[in-house]
């Protein structure tokens, strides 16, 4: 019998995997079908990163930091793509987010060893 955490992990895998497959299919279709406006999709792709981050943060307490970092990274990339951030501010924020993602990856391992 699967636990709630295992079920949530499977749902998350299906959602993320499905999103990646859909994105790949759209890119492939753009090569052969010229009426698709793939540029619009490419401008708004960070929204998917935000949604995955929020999903991670809301479904599993142990992934709150990683989910928050992903949502923040997606927001920053989206704001940069929409040209709402200056380059200097964007670079500082990207470095901070990169540090947060690194901490989110190593923190659970450090806490388990204690």
Claim: this prediction has a pTM higher than 0.75: no
What pLDDT digit, counting tens, does each position of 53-76 carry?
Answer: 888 888 777 778 778 878 888 888
Closest CA to 59 of 6, 111, 113: 6
User: Which of the two residues, 77 and 27, has the higher pLDDT score?
Assistant: 77
Q: What's the whole-number mean pLDDT along residues 70-92?
A: 84
Contacts of residue 53, Cβ cutoff 8 Å, sequence gap at least 6:
66, 67, 68, 69, 70, 71, 72, 73, 74
What pLDDT digit, counting tens, does each position of 3-43 carry?
Answer: 777 777 777 778 777 877 887 887 777 777 766 667 777 77
Q: How many CA atoms lie within 13 A of 52 on its CB side?
A: 20
**CA separation for the pair 94, 73 (Å, rounded):** 7
**Structural domain spans, the chain:** 4-113
Alpha-helical runs (H) found in the chain: 4-32, 38-44, 46-59, 64-81, 87-113
């Amino acid at each position: 019998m699967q636990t709630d955490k295992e079920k949530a992990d499977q749902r998350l895998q299906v959602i993320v995997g499905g999103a990646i497959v859909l994105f790949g299919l759209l890119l492939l279709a753009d090569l052969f079908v010229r009426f698709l406006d793939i540029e619009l999709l490419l401008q708004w792709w960070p929204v998917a990163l935000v949604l995955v981050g929020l999903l991670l943060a809301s479904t599993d307490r142990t992934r709150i930091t990683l989910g928050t970092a992903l949502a923040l990274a997606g927001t920053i990339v989206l704001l940069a793509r929409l040209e709402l951030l200056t380059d200097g501010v964007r670079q500082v924020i990207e470095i901070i987010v990169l540090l947060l993602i690194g901490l989110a990856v190593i923190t659970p391992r450090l806490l388990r060893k204690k």
